[in-house]
A and B are shown apart, each in its own frame.
Chain A
Amino acid sequence: MKSSKIIIGLLSAAAVAIVACKPKSTSNAVSGDAASKVYVAPGKYDEFYNFVSGGFSGQLSVYGLPSGRLLRVIPVFSMDPEKGWGFSEETKPMLNTSHGFVPWDDLHHVEMSMTDGIADGKWAFVNGNNTPRLARVDLTTFRTAEIIELPNSGGNHSSPFGTENSEYIVAGTRFSVPSDANSDVSIESYKENFKGHISFVSVDKESGEMNIAFQLKTPGVNFDLARTGKGKSHGWFFFSTYNTEQANTLQEVNASQKDKDFIMAVNWKKAEEYIKAGKGAKQKVKYAHNVFDEHTHTATSVIKDEVTVLDVAEYPDIVYFIPCPKSPHGCDVDPTGEYIVGSGKLAALLPVFSFDKIQKAIADKAFESETYSGIPVIKYEAALYGEVQKPGLGPLHTEFDANGNAYTSFFVSSEVVKWNVKDLQVLDRQPTFYSVGHLMVPGGNTKKPLGKYLVAYNKITKDRYLPTGPELSQSAQLYDISGEKMQLILDFPTIGEPHYAQAVAAELIKDKQVKIFDINKNAHAFVAKGEAETKVERIGNQVHVYLTTVRSHLSPDKIEGVQLGDNVYFHVTNLEQDWDVPHGFAIKGASNGELLVMPGETTTLKWTPDRIGIFPMYCTDFCSALHQEMSGYVRVSPKGSNVPISYGLGDKMTTVKK
């Protein structure tokens, strides 16, 4: 009986899959109570914060669930004129790399900091895929606090996944490349010279500061995603790999030859022991480490030059390969830490591996007769718990609820599928619109999933919203998973391309928010703590303006004595000490951007005037009824002019004697 039901289910799945090439009909039933389930009344708060990758926008977006309201876009890897990110002198160092200033990246995944395998609401980690970087976002300020570049890497995709207590956040290279130190080699020599590198980035429990503790050097393959072990499997990490064919061209065909690629199981506790014992080679590399200091309100970028590398071929008890069908994307560990689900994106089944069996296989040396580049390969059957047969087409990624169920996204057949981890039976399937990539359940990657909702992040939008020309915003879909059947209750548009996302209960974060920066603690080198400290100083061809803002005037608001050829630095201190009273700052002709200065903060705009004349400056953020009056003038004279530096506000003018 049971099996015949499944076959029928499959049949209908196949039918759906065929239609999926064309957008499915939008008229798919959304039942009557959907609206009330997502309605968050004016003035009321959402239940969850949902941190969603901004994909090729390079930013991290924050939505409320269940409403789908956009709460914030946090600039991370890309410049953002709205917030002055990458435009102010203080934030420019955050986008520094060993390649210089790189003002954009491709942000794919989000990982909340963890304590005991549960999100603790301190930080969100995100990856920069293009110029390999890892960033830490502070969840008391919703700002990027730190960015670290990753050497020996080419595309930081298998990142930023963290261990149970965020001991490490990993960063696995998507594209294997030769080591940085020896990289002028023929592309044809891939098999010989190209290597995978997985960075284990340690995180300070208190400050959050990140450090590349060590890198594992692996055979050259592509690393896709990863997950930490938990509970009994704490101490292990699992990475999905593809292109184990080691193709260096036409990967679309050449990296899909084999029936199975690998899930790579890493005993990171072992690796840690070797590092503590002084093992591993110190390599000369170059990478940027950028930190934003909340007291000086200023970022610094340091170029570091060394990393410790453990070649896993030399330490045979760190790494084991487990065969996994067809280019796995997700490799996800269930809340108990026992089951590891491989989602082979070109496979027609979902293998579920058992941690206990993997341990036994290692103990019994149940390995294939041939190693893979010297690494033992565990026999598929020896690691396998079971397979979910014909679950759908193109499985990508799996998360879990608290009741022993798993939810897997299927890209090709555009659906989310609920199945039971123990008996591997499919329980429900619902279409997505269209071509879902990652999905997420609040806490669905942790030891204690919160369940309740599932969000599908789709790659194709088509007809879901009012059309906006050739380009459409991306689309997320919210499902209520509290019942036996999943129920689609909301569509909402997202920025960039949302890859992965995570959600945490609002209570974990909302009461910890920084509302203002204490002006008494402001340690910026150019702060003006009060109007009495405002001034204009010339140092050679630099003019430093110590400027303050308060509702609703700039001090000073009259400045003369600037000359063509000067670089003018407006150090703007916002004297307000009340929540949600930022002031903006802009000056005509500024070739970079504006500033948005939070209460108690100092931020600097560099301006190089290009002509003689009078330049208005003003506050860009509507701050009070007299906001339109919040403005001033700067006079620019020819080079060598005898107009002295002078500045003032109201009837008070100060002239600097030459």
Chain B
Amino acid sequence: MNTSMKKAVIAIAGFSLTAAVLVSCGGGSSSGQTKSTARETSETLTTDDYDPNRGEGKFDESNVEAGALNMAMAEKGEAISGTKCLSCHKLSDEKLVGPGWEGVTERRSLHWIMNFITNPDPMIDKDPEVQAQLELCLVRMPNQNLADEEAREIVEFMRKNDGVK
């Protein structure tokens, strides 16, 4: 398998997604700052097997299920988000530090979100869409040390926020 070939493919995919993300990150209020903590895209896209639909981490379709909304879990998720997330994310589609959460469970699969919020660093380095977001937000989504259970509760809260009943 030719790695450089693959790299090129991913880079193109990443590029084409930039426009879409521009919207999701909202107005792009990057106050003329050009300095980014992002590493060079071409350098970091070296993994052969990164799957942008799944992300990287413990989760996939088999272990993240979406049934009817679990209210108790969603409430717990809301409390954890209050402490660990909402200083950077709004519940609307408006950007704060990171993109607004409205619609995120429709844009992303639940297991992608689970992977991203429990394991953001490698995904920021590899996921073309996240890299494009980073170019606009200029802040790396932090690892907030979520337990798996807490992450799932937050996802439940995100679903509630997106109108799942």
Contact = CB atoms under 8 A, between A and B. Distances in A.
A550 interface: yes
A577 B151 CA distance: 14
Interface string B126-159: 0000000000001110111100000000000000
B83 interface: yes
A62 interface: no
Contact of B138 (A533, A548, A626): A626
Interface string A547-567: 010111101000000000000
Contact of A551 (B36, B82, B83, B139): B139
Contact of B139 (A518, A519, A531, A626): A626
A531 B144 contact: no
Contacts of B17: none
Contact of B84 (A553, A555, A577, A581): A577
B143 A578 contact: yes
B100 to A, nearest CB: 13
A629 interface: yes
A624 B139 contact: yes
A552 B36 CA distance: 13
A578 B97 contact: no
Interface string A577-591: 111010000000000
A516 interface: yes
Interface string A439-467: 00000000000000000000000000000
Interface size class of B (residues with CB under 8 A): 10 to 19
Contacts of B33: 625-626
A575 B84 contact: yes
B36 A625 contact: yes
Interface in B34-87: 35-37, 82-84, 86-87
Contacts of A576: 142, 144
Given A530-B87, A531-B86, A575-B84, A625 B142 contact: no
A551 B87 CA distance: 9
Nearest to A534: B87
Interface in B18-36: 31, 33, 35-36
B37 A625 contact: yes
A521 to B, nearest CB: 11
A26 interface: no
A548 to B, nearest CB: 6
Contacts of B164: none
Interface string A585-629: 000000000000000000000000000000000000000111001
Contacts of A581: 142
Interface of A: 516, 518-520, 529-533, 548, 550-553, 555, 575-579, 581, 624-626, 629
Interface of B: 31, 33, 35-37, 82-84, 86-88, 97, 138-140, 142-145
